[in-house]
Structure formats: structure tokens, C-alpha cells
Structure 1
Amino acid sequence: MNTSFKKVLLAVVCSSTLLFTACGGDDNNHQFIQERTYISNAAYTQDSIQGAVIRVMSYKMPNVADQKAEATAMVFYPSTPRPADGWRVVVWEHGTVGIGDECAPSVNTLNPRFKTMAESLLAEGYVIVAPDYEGLGSKGIHPYLHLESAAQSAIYAVRALKDHLGSQMNGAWMSVGQSQGGHASLGTAEFANQDPNYKGAVAAAPASSLGYIISEIAPEAIARLEMGEAYGMVPKGTARNVYAELMAYAAYVAVGIKAYEPNFNYHDIFQEASQATVMEAEGSNGENGKCLGDLMASFQADIDQFTQTTGKAVMEYPGLTANFQDNPIIKQFLAINQPATKKLDKPIMVIQGEADTAVPADVTTALVENLRTMGTVVDYQLVPLAGHTQAIVERNAELVRFIKTNMPAQ
């Protein structure tokens, strides 16, 4: 065993001894609530990051039904020495995985794109908290793309870690997320706006304007992709894959609404031919539905069958009803869960790929312009030729620099 590896191993073991026996401490600068939110923590065994300790923390948070619920989050501890004034925390808010419990990040291997960022932040000495979100990996239906729920998942995870570690934490924290997580990170910035310990947000390809994307942008974009396929300029199946992804998102939204509107009949907003596939998002009880890859595959197969048997175009697939946005529950959902509608007092970085087909660049650019108009300071990183998941990887160095600038690790 070489000397450098021994030092890393010793640092991890020593940190673990402190972390796993911590039971609170001085909490005088905890301004939010008196009730403890921390429940317990256990080992994470699905994957690893060299030189880091990973635990799965259980904690309490308010859910969308305005009740206390249990939630889970992974916590990544660096092997670097803990700063004398305590660790700073970066909250990672993940992209769409599904709404079934088996889709939760804490029961799966780590996403390679997340690993890239995590290794960079851990090397700088940050603790990373990665919430599964309400209802993912814990009891209840996951309210997909519910802005406040996602924010509370992050805010209460940080509170729980403070309850657990006490003075080992500095108190300062920031949020980072991609896609669904970008939406969540902007929501966290909104709901933590008055917290002096909260220092800012990074949002990559933040989900927004879903109704507008599906009804206005997608039809033209998918038609262009189909034309490109016909002329050999775009790989076969691209249009179908893009539409299948959007349909999966729409299905998760519809099922997720049942977390707080249990009598909502999502069949009202989907045409009959697609309803059986939509039901696969929910499963038998909202907790055992298909994860994103499998649900997309189901929609791809259904779209293929439709186009092959009818000879019609991809966008003619009978998915959402033409007037789905007129449904009062959907109309309310789209209104209250649109991110970046308020001035944010903390600095924001937005990362967006120009070639993103899930969250189009024009939509994110408009979101950034709206934030700036309200007086929010935004560092906008528009990445040429990058797709939906690629942009945040290409701007990893800028992301880390933004966090270090606004919340130095030491």
C-alpha cells in the first residue's frame, strides 16, 4: 500500500468515526425550526467514489399533503480535512429517473455525469447532499416537477444534516441540479431566498414551460427531425425518441399530481390509445411504476406500432389531448410550478446546451432573460452543440469555479 493511499484511507476512516457518532451539537445559528428533522443514516452499498464516504440519510420533511413525511438522501463526505469552521454543503438535485421507489438514486449506482461533478467538488472539500425527493425511495407518490416539494426535499435534507452533525457543519450551502434537478435548484433558490446561509444555485437545462414545449415547440421540432430522417441527415428513430421522452415526462407529471390530488383522473388528458402506456408510469400504486428508460422504451414501441400501422407521422401519435392545458388541475400545476418567476437575491448560474431537444435553448434563454429583468444576477453558460445531458459535463470546471467563488470551501 503506497503512502498517498494510506493517507487518503486514514482521512476517510477518521472522518467516518466522527460522522457516524455525531448526535447534534450547537445549533444556535439554525434559524428555521426547533424540531429535529434527522432520523438515521446507513451505508450506501450500490457504488463508490474513491476517497469518499457515502451514507444514506433518512429525515423528515413536509410533503405536498401538508404532513410530515420521511425522505432519503445520499450524503458524500470528502477525504480532505474538515475545515476548522465546519463543512460547506452542495446539494445535488437529480434529473428525471421516474417516480417508482426502485428509481431512487440512493438504491441505484451513481450516474456517470454526477460522478464527474461529485469527484470535483469532493476534491475541493465540499460535502454533497443528494436528496431522492419526496416519495422516491420512501412512502408516497413522488410529486414530479412540484417546485415547492423539490425545494423542501433539499432544504430539509440540509437541516437534517445540521441536526446530525451540529458544529461540524459551517452552515453555508448551495444547490446544483440538471433537468428536473435544474427546475428543483431554481425552486430551492426561491424557497431559500431569505436564508442567509444559502449562497446560490446552479441550474442546468432546467425543466420549465412544459405545456408550451409540448403544445407549441415539439410539433415543429419533431416534424423537422422526421424530415431530416427522410433525407438521411438525422439518425432513424430520433423524432420518435424525442417524442417518447416528452410523453414520459407528461405521464410522470400526471401521475405525480395524484400525490396531492388523489382523485385526479389523468386519463382525462390523454387519448385512449396511449392510456395503457401512461399507466405504466404509475404501476399498481404509484410507487412501483416504470423508471425513465423503461417507460421511454414503452412509448417508443407504442409510437412505432402506431406509425407503422397507420402510415402517419410521429406527432400524430394519440398522446395528450389537444386541450390538455385547459384542464383546471393541469392549468394550476403549470402556473404554480413554473420556476424563475420571482427575483432571486442570490447569484445563479444557468447551463444550457444549444442542441437540447428535451429543454430547448430558446425556452431557457427566455427564462434567463426574465430573471435578469427582475434583477437576478445570472451567469448564463450557453454551450454550443451540446445536448440535454452533455452541457453540464462540458461546463463542469465553470460550475466548480462558480461554487468556489460564492462559497469557498475553507
Structure 2
Amino acid sequence: MNEHAVEGAAPTRRDNSAHRRRRVVVVLTVLAVVIGLLVADGIRRYAEGEAELRTDPTFYASPSPSPSPTAEPGTVIRSEEIASAPAGSTAWRVLYASRDLAGAEITVSGVVIVPNSPAPTDGRTVVAWAHPTTGAATKCAPSLGLDPFEYIAGMHELLDQGYAIAATDYPGLGVDEASSYLLAVPESNSVLDIVRAAGDIEDAQIGEKFVLWGHSQGGQAALFAAERAAAYAPELTLQGVAVAAPAADLTTLMSDDIDDVSGVTIASYAIPAYTAAYADRFGKDAIEAILTPAGAAATPDMAALCLLTENEKIHAIAGPLVGGYVTSNPATTEPWQTMLRENSAGGMPITVPVFVAQGQSDELVAPAATDAYVEHLCAQETDVAFHRLPDVDHGLAAYAALPELLLWLGELERAAPQGNCP
């Protein structure tokens, strides 16, 4: 008798092998379909992104006056749907009104993305993404890229969870305005104002709740936005702020990095921005006196280049200047000492839960600097969830943090975030 005719009889080794082979075939078939869909979507997005690039100059032209003198912060000035939105989502490129360091009206660009799934009855919660350094020149805006969503850490996971995403370019990127590089007030204004702008897009179905999420430079912007949200955007409901390898303490950052290529690059972006923003207060000559003659000559060329896409050109200029770019440490030289302190996070308490992730192999934002900032938050009795990421460098910090971040966001939605201050 065939043993398979006996109910409950165990299959033979040959049958087990056949079953395993069938499972492998099914898994491989599913993977092939998924990969095929991803490739097809990638081809679609690339082709549509190429077409969109041809229309960008017209879209990003700042209105005159810039913007309307009566435009409230967060007012959408111009918007267009993005054909290359990720599969299962709808996205818009937006120009919106914001404010600079002096409180003057400016125009800022960015993107808003929502999943195509039904929105909750009270509207979608927004994750306001603050991106890491891409450069300081107008052309370096993430939304101007062939893939305008490339640098949004966790985009697919957040959309799958039902969140809307609002991602600013920051002032001076995309739209031809003064650079805001590492200037905490205009950066944080632009982060908060794009949440308002997202709410102005009727089809996005945005609610009043939002979360801040930033990496590196974006960590600084997100932390300042958290400090200032209640005063600057009281109509919005901030639930929490998450950062990865944040540039929280600019004084320490500059001291740690000024004698390497990264520090020279950061300074070359910051010096023109700070000169324009603080010239009336400290004087252009006093601000630029920190530069050596060689540094002064090279700064305009470096500031015109984008990080990541033009690294080789930047390093070719910055490399020979290491050790000879500045006359002294900006962190201990006025007026830089004052300017860096004013643009470092921690001056005001954060009253919502905070998520902090820090790679332990980070050579740009030193782990010790983030440790010190977290200690400062804990001393202020802030609810902090701090995650040290072993063997993670600066560039991967936001992506490595995603599993813990998504768990924390779930806790935040349940109003039960798990802090770990001592």
C-alpha cells in the first residue's frame, strides 16, 4: 500500500524535498514579480522625472514680490502634481510662503506626498522631513533632483503606515533666495510652514497632527522646529520629534570638524549664509575675517557645488585647504562663537517626546556630542528615547534608525512613548 493512503502518515524525504522545491519556486516567482514591478516603477519614475526636469525653471521662478506681502506663512503660492510619485502615492511639488531670520517674507519649495489609501476621518498625520546637507546653492534642492524623493529616509515605510510626508528644501534651495544653511530660525520656519502648506492641499486630506523627523543638518532644523512650534505655529499639534545624528551643537561640530575636508566643506556653505544673515548685526568684514586669504578665494567656488553629486569637485578644492582654511577656530572666535551658540539646539525646552539615534562610528557628528545633547534634554525632564547604533556611520544613521523609529511612532500614536533617560 502507498503510505500516503494512510491518513496522517508522514511524507517521505523525497516528498519533503519536493515540497521545499515548490516553496522555493513560489518564493522566487513572487520575488521576480516584486522586482519586476519595482524595476517597471523605477523606469516609469525615471522617464517622468526626466520630463519634469524640463519644466522646473518655470515652476521654481519666485513670484514678484516674493511672495505677496500679504501671504501668511505656509500659504501655497504654486503647486503641481508630480507624475513620478512612488507607486501607491500621490505627490505635489509646492512653493509656499515662509519667513527668514529677520521675519521678512520669502518663498520656499518642497514636496508633499500622501498614500493613496483612505485618510482617517480627522485627516492624515504629517511627518515633516528635514533633510541632511545637500549643499547651499539653489540647484542643490532635493526636489529639483531627477528623483525628488531620493533623500527622504523611511519614505516607503511611512507611507505604508498611512502618514503624509512634507519635505522642505529649506530657504535658498530650489527658489533663488538667500541661503539658510545651518541657520536655525529660517530652516525651522520652512519645516513648520510646509506642514501648513500641506494642509492647504485639499486632496492631501491633512489633519492637525504632525511629527518632525530630521537627519544631520535636518536634525538641527527639526529640533529647533520642536522648540519653536508652539509659538510659531500654535494651530498645529506637534506629537513628537525624531532625529538621527543631529547637528545639535554647532560649537562642538565646528571644533571637531574644522581641520578635515568635511569641516572645510561645512564652513564653506555656512560662511556665506551667516554673512548675509548677520551682516547688519556684526558687519560683513568681521564675519569673513575668520577666513585665510586662500579660504576667502575658494569659498565661492565650494559654496556653488552640491554635496553628494559634486563631491569630487568639492574635495579637490577643500583638500588642499585643510589646516589653512580659517585663521582660528570659529567656535572660540567672535562673532562666530555667538552665532554658533545661537544656532545650536537646547536653548528652549522641548515639551513633546524626542527620539534620538546616533551611529557609534560617526566621524562627522561625534557620538560624544549627541550623548551630551541627550543628557541636556534629560536634565530638562524631556521624554527621550535614545538609541546608540553600533558600527553605523553618519550617512546611514537615519536608515539604520528606521526599525526603532517606526516602533516609537506607533507608541507615539498610542500616547505611550518609551523614554530611557536615567
Q: Is residue 2:142 matched to residue 1:105? A: yes
Q: Is residue 2:309 matched to residue 1:269? A: no
Say which of 339, 347, 351 aligns to 2:353: 347
Displacement after TM superposition at 1:160 (Å): 2.0
Q: Which runs of 4+ in 1 moved over 6 A?
A: 33-36
* Aligned partner letter, 1:43: E
* Aligned partner letter, 2:352: K
Residue correspondences, number: 341
Classify 1:342/1:152 alpha carbon distance in 2 versus 1 (closer, same or farther; 3 Å): same
Displacement after TM superposition at 1:260 (Å): 1.9
Q: Is residue 2:173 matched to residue 1:133? A: no
| Deviation by residue 1:59-85 (Cα, 9 ceiling, x = unmatched) | 111112321111111001112111122
Unaligned runs of 5+ in 1: 10-32, 223-242, 283-288, 307-314
Q: Is the 8 A contact 1:135 1:141 kept in 2?
A: yes
Classify 1:318/1:57 alpha carbon distance in 2 versus 1 (closer, same or farther; 3 Å): same
Displacement after TM superposition at 1:35 (Å): 7.5
Q: Is the 8 A contact 1:247 1:299 kept in 2?
A: no
Unaligned runs of 5+ in 2: 1-32, 42-70, 416-422
Displacement after TM superposition at 1:164 (Å): 3.3
Q: CA RMSD in A?
A: 2.8
Q: Which residue of 1 aligns with 2:312?
A: 297
Counterpart CA distance in 1 for 2:183 and 2:192 is 14
Classify 1:78/1:280 alpha carbon distance in 2 versus 1 (closer, same or farther; 3 Å): same
Moved more, 370-379 or 272-281: 272-281
Identity among equivalent positions (%) equals 26
Q: Is the 8 A contact 1:71 1:138 kept in 2?
A: yes
Say which of 358, 371, 393 aligns to 1:365: 371
Q: Is residue 2:271 matched to residue 1:254? A: yes
Displacement after TM superposition at 1:358 (Å): 0.7
Higher RCO (Cα < 8 Å, 6 or more apart): 1
| Deviation by residue 1:74-126 (Cα, 9 ceiling, x = unmatched) | 00111211112211111000000111111001101448874550000001111
Matches within 5 A, 1:308-347: 317-325=323-331, 327-347=333-353
Counterpart CA distance in 1 for 2:318 and 2:307 is 16
Q: Is residue 2:386 matched to residue 1:380? A: yes
TM-score (norm 2): 0.74
Q: Which residue of 2 aligns with 1:202?
A: 242
Q: Is the 8 A contact 2:198 2:204 kept in 1?
A: no
Classify 1:256/1:77 alpha carbon distance in 2 versus 1 (closer, same or farther; 3 Å): same
Classify 1:114/1:137 alpha carbon distance in 2 versus 1 (closer, same or farther; 3 Å): closer
Q: Is the 8 A contact 1:113 1:393 kept in 2?
A: no
Higher Cα Rg: structure 1 or 2?
A: 2
Classify 1:168/1:43 alpha carbon distance in 2 versus 1 (closer, same or farther; 3 Å): closer
| Deviation by residue 1:151-189 (Cα, 9 ceiling, x = unmatched) | 110111111222333993221001101000011111111
Matches within 5 A, 1:10-409: 37-44=75-82, 47-110=84-147, 114=151, 117-165=154-202, 168-193=205-230, 195=234, 197-215=237-255, 217-218=256-257, 243-262=260-279, 264-265=284-285, 267-282=288-303, 289-293=304-308, 296-302=311-317, 305=320, 317-325=323-331, 327-407=333-413
* Aligned partner letter, 1:121: L
Displacement after TM superposition at 1:302 (Å): 4.1
Q: Which residue of 1 aligns with 2:420?
A: none
TM-score (norm 1): 0.76
